[in-house]
Structure 1
Amino acid sequence: MGEVIHHGAFNGVTGSCHELFLSANDSVLIDCGLFQGEEAAGSGSSGSFESSGSAGAPEIGFSLANVRALIVTHCHIDHVGRIPYLLIAGFRGPIYCTRATAMLLPLVIEDALRLGLTRDKALIASVLELLQSLLVPVEYDAWTDLTKLIGADSGAGAAGAVGKNGPASLRLRLRQAGHILGSAYAEFDWPERSKALAATNTTDNTPADAAKADSYRIVFSGDIGCRNTPLLPDPTPLERADVLYLESTYGDRLHESRADREERLRGVIEHCVADGGAVLIPAFSIGRTQELLYEIEDIIATHGSFWPKITVILDSPMATAFTKLYQQLNDHWDAEALARNLAGRNPLDFSRLHVVESHADHEHIVNFLRTSGEPCIVIAASGMCAGGRMVNYLQALLPDPRTDVVFVGYQAEGTPGRDIQRYGPEGGYVELEGERITIRAGVHTLGGYSAHADQAELLDFVLQASHIGRVRLIHGAPSAQRALTHALRQHHITTP
């Protein structure tokens, strides 16, 4: 009990998937994400639904014999992208997630199916219907009894009709992670285990003072967000953990403040507009796009010069769909965003925002910008320039020195975005859809827009807890994990 097998994002950043054993023969998955960039090579997470066969083993890459349920911390593709493979491999257990994630997840999976797996509409519909039937939305901070999963049949449905009855011997709680809308960290709590440890005086490789607590607790951080992220509440403070599996994406750096990053965004765009060309901002459809819209609306509302007249183009069907859901889920917004809304400002739907509805309109805008050099701001997916409509803008406008590309998110090794960052400033090139594109555009990076906590915020997340047994670092490059390990040990936190 408590053993963990990592099926992704252990010594890397993408493909998050961790199998927690509740007993010798029963386990749950925490996330089931897609590998990206160089980490995708040899991961077994590529291919099509049509060619994967009924078993799906070559795609999922590990046995599902013991897996009773899936817990989804949030719906970024590197945390949920392998769910279609999970379903085709025969998984029929409950999928626990927050209410917002349950609304957003089907859109993410539908997009993943269309782009990477199949265009068969009937197959997509059947997968989405199955997904919906398995989703179990839970409220933040509410304990959910998972006792029924222990000794359950691996084919158990979301209703949880099989399993043990009686007092809860295992429970789950999802808490606000502040990463994207609906994001959570997951707490697994064993009330009976601490009593057993106290009675037997055995540690079973458990921190010595675990038996003093009311329960034994294992926590998976998912992705912890930054404080003061637009639209989102701050992460809920961690109470305690006997074992904490902690993300370490930015365990080796500090972010600039939100006020500084908005000012830098304004400065970079003003400089770019002075060049007389388009400002291209590759952005993830969920989270990053909505943050950018929020802050650009604030700049437009509070600054003069060209700002009240500049056109902001949102050219991503997925980002548009998610933005609409963000507006529907405004009960999840933070106090600042709600106050702006009450004051008559809609930070996600303002007058200078132009949403591209059709592919024909997209092609028209790309060609218009290629020939006119009209100053504007274009926000489009994908965030790492590996697909989506942003690729067409880059193909058309990277060779134009009037263009500027502004990166506001992590660019994984092996992605076109990382290559543009690396080779663009020296006038190099990037391969896009098999075509070599010379980079004459300006290239800028605003690190403060990360949706991941930096080293100081990760340390705060750990140190504010009343008890921490051990911390195991996941979801980070080796250099980031080493740096965060060093910082934790300076505070006498045990890491392997």
Structure 2
Amino acid sequence: MIEIKHHGATTGVTGSCHELSVGDAGILIDCGLFQGQEAGHSSTASNLAIDFPIDHIRALVVTHVHIDHVGRIPYLLASGFEGPIICSEPSAFMLPEILEDALKIGFTRDRKLIERVLDLIRSRIVPLPYSQWYSVFAEGECSLSVRLQQAGHILGSAYVECDAWANQVSERIVFSGDLGAPHAPLLPEPTSPERADRLVIESTYGDKDHEDRETRRYRLKAILENALADGGTILVPAFSIGRTQELLYEIESLIHEFGDDEVAEDVSLPHGAKLSWKDLEIVVDSPLAADFTRIYRDLKPYWDAEATELVNEGRHPLSFEQLTVIDSHEDHLNAVSYLARSHRPCVVLAGSGMCTGGRVVNYLKALLGDVRNDVLFVGYQAVGTPGREILSYGPHGGYVELDGERYTIRARVHQVGGYSAHAGQSDLLRFVEGIPETPAEIRIVHGDADAKLAFQHLLETKYDSRILIP
């Protein structure tokens, strides 16, 4: 018997965890944290504990290293999981880094214990090259092999092809993980699988499409120019992996193209000098984002052809002159204070991406009340997060609650959805259409209810497949 179960990402877009059982054994695809208000889950030890049987689980396959896909791995280990952690080669570099941060969320602050857990995780990681089959188990009449293919979501992301055999029945089951949009900076775009009898596919943007890359790039330029015209700070809540690096890549390209042009009229630096694009200061205030930007630089062999060509031309899209990285907490507090009282135009990328914690919260407290400032969202904001509240209520002069206090939102609020690392509706459909023979069953996960229903309806108009929302 070949069976699929879902332990997360069925009531929203976080907590991804899926199980594929073949006979008496099985694997997990991801094991992520819940964020926001999804299913009543929160990041406390009692809610993070693994609440399903794992004795039969032979391996964990990681699609990519975002926290909502890997954040519960320490709890999986604590529950007794002893199998390998299979992931792509770039993900193998990044997984211990992201889990070090996850360990501090409700698990432990004990440095020695954290190191022991990280050493255990490193010993379990099996880096798997793209397009190469790996035999997970072969027991009696049952066997399971997996293969990873590039998903174009973040560096190292993959969708998972599973070849399952049970009592002379063979199935190819594909788990999409998170799929990227075509033409994303730095990353090759995903190609459809050659076969899928059953498909489990994400639907974060199952109800809408993104702007094309050229449109979103120039809209980013316009937002930067308009926001900087009044000498304020543009605050970008940054996801440490993916969006931060893509934004730096795009901003570097704007500086390269418009370097000597004035960013905005009537905006000057001290002593009356005009502010040009090459004078614009970009600050990354997130140690984790800075670490992953460094790792992205170290993994240039996995960049796409466009990014590789820029490097060959002598450009440094993730390490350019106008970029400042803030590391220490003291420097962070000084930066918040300085930007709150100064009129120096600046773009700050600070973690976390949904404003649920991290350094971005201090910036929000200091900057939201000033009309000179702007908040720019470039990624999905889950229901129940401060980011979703700012996006919903900010344009209407509402407020957001941060650390138990209300903060009135006078800053302007923008969203450039095209910078989402997720595929849009048309991209998801293209992924399905590219499979030579339509899957007999398609399961839609990892989306809010409206997005899943919209994508289900679209697929039902095109295919006779069984379209399920678990």
Give the TM-score, by structure 1 length.
0.88
Q: Is contact 1:98–1:174 with CA below 8 Å preserved after alignment?
A: yes
- How far off is 1:119 after superposition? 0.9
Alignment of structure 1 residues 478-489 onto 2, 5 Å: 478-489=449-460
Does residue 26 (structure 1) correspond to residue 15 (structure 2)? The answer is no
Whether 2:69 is the aligned partner of 1:72: answer no
CA distance in 2, matches of 1:426, 1:389: 25
Any idea what the Cα deviations from partners look like across 1:445-478, whole Å, max 9, x if unmatched? 1111111111111111011111122111111112
Kept in 2: contact 1:9–1:17 (CA 8 A):
yes
- 2:284–2:325 CA contact under 8 A, matched in 1: yes
Q: CA deviation at 1:493?
A: 4.3
Mapping of 1:29-68 within 5 angstroms?
A: 29-39=28-38, 41=40, 43=41, 46-48=43-45, 59-68=49-58
1:91 Cα offset (Å) = 0.9
1:11 matched to 2:11? The reply is yes
**Is this contact kept in 2: 1:284–1:381, CA < 8 A?**
yes
Q: What's 1:269 paired with? A: 224
Code of the aligned partner of 2:12: G
* Distance apart, 1:5 and its partner CA: 1.4
The letter of the residue matching 1:489 is E
1:79-478 to 2 correspondences below 5 Å: 79-148=69-138, 150=139, 169-190=143-164, 196-197=168-169, 216-303=171-258, 304-305=261-262, 306-467=276-437, 468-478=439-449
Letter in 1 for 2:56: N
- Residue aligned with 2:196, SS: strand
CA contact (8 A) 1:278 1:404 kept: yes
Identity %: 55
Tell me if the contact between 1:471 and 1:493 (Cα under 8 Å) persists in the aligned partners: no
Seen in structure 2, the aligned counterparts of structure 1 residues 294 and 116 have a Cα distance that, compared at 3 Å, is farther
* Structure 1 CA distance for aligned equivalents of residues 464 and 292 of structure 2: 39
Decide which structure has greater strand share: 2
In the alignment, residue 187 of structure 1 is paired with which amino acid? E
Distance verdict in 2 for CA 1:77–1:273, change over 3 Å = same
TM-superposed CA distance for 1:60, in Å, is 1.2
Deviations 1:56-78 (A, max 9, x none): x9711112122111000001011
**Alignment-mate amino acid for residue 388 of structure 2:** R
Distance in 2, matches of 1:47 and 1:423, equals 27
CA distance in 2, matches of 1:301, 1:10: 43
**1: CA distance, partners of 2:12 / 2:328:** 37
Of 57-66 and 3-12, more deviation after overlay is shown by: 57-66
Task: Report the CA distance shift for 1:411/1:236 in structure 2 as closer, same or farther (over 3 A).
Answer: same
- The count of aligned residue pairs is 451
Report SS of the residue matched to 2:222. helix
Amino acid at match of 1:47: T
* Kept in 1: contact 2:175–2:201 (CA 8 A): yes
Q: Distance in 2 between matches of 1:234 and 1:379?
A: 25
Name the stretch that deviates more: 107-116 or 443-452. 107-116
Quote how far apart the aligned CAs of 1:185 are. 0.4
Q: 1:483 to 1:58 in 2, by over 3 A?
A: closer
Q: 1:273 to 1:97 in 2, by over 3 A?
A: same
What residue number does 1:201 align with? none
Cα contact 1:248–1:480 (8 A) shared by 2: yes
Query: Normalised by the size of structure 2, how large is the TM-score?
Result: 0.93
Residue 40 (structure 1) shift: 5.9
Q: 1:476, 1:272 → 2: CA distance?
A: 32
Assess if the C-alpha contact under 8 Å between 1:226 and 1:452 holds in 2. Answer: yes
Query: Is 2:2–2:164's contact at 8 Å kept on the other side of the alignment?
Result: no
CA spacing shift, 1:353–1:138, aligned 2, 3 Å: same
The structure 1 segments of at least 4 consecutive aligned residues displaced by more than 6 Å after TM superposition are none
Q: Which runs of 5+ in 1 are unaligned?
A: 152-163, 198-214
Contact 1:46 1:59 in 2 (8 A): no
> Structure 2 stretches of 5 or more lacking a match?
263-275
Q: Distance in 1 between matches of 2:127 and 2:303?
A: 18
Considering only aligned residues, what root-mean-square deviation do their CA atoms show, in Å? 1.6
Separation (CA, whole Å) in 2 of partners of 1:72 and 1:357: 29
Q: Note the alpha carbon deviations across 1:43-66, whole angstroms, 9 max, x for none.
A: 3x6334xxx6xxxx9711112122
What letter is aligned with 1:240? Answer: R
CA contact (8 A) 2:108 2:114 kept: yes
The SS at the match of 2:115 is: helix
- The answer to whether 1:490 aligns with 2:445 is no
1:239 & 1:37 partners in 2: Cα distance?
36
Question: Once the two structures are superposed, what CA deviation does each residue of 1:324-371 show, in whole Å capped at 9, x if it has no partner?
Answer: 000111110000000001101110000000111211111111110111
Return the alpha-carbon distance in structure 1 between the equivalents of residues 376 and 448 of structure 2: 23
Using the alignment, how far apart are the partners of 2:391 and 2:239 within structure 1? 17
> How far apart are 1:117 and its partner, in Å?
2.3
State how far apart, in whole Å, the 2-side matches of 1:115 and 1:47 are.
8
Residues of 2 paired with 1:359 and 1:115: CA distance? 18
Alpha-carbon distance between aligned partners in 2 of 1:169 and 1:279, rounded to the nearest angstrom: 53
More displaced 10-residue stretch of structure 1: 2-11 or 383-392 = 2-11
Could you say what secondary structure the match of 2:201 adopts?
Answer: strand
Shift of 1:191: 6.1
How far the C-alpha of 1:424 sits from its partner, in A, is 0.8
Task: Supply the AA of the counterpart residue of 1:182.
Answer: G
Distance in 1 of aligned mates of 2:303 and 2:370: 39
1:170–1:189 CA contact under 8 A, matched in 2: yes
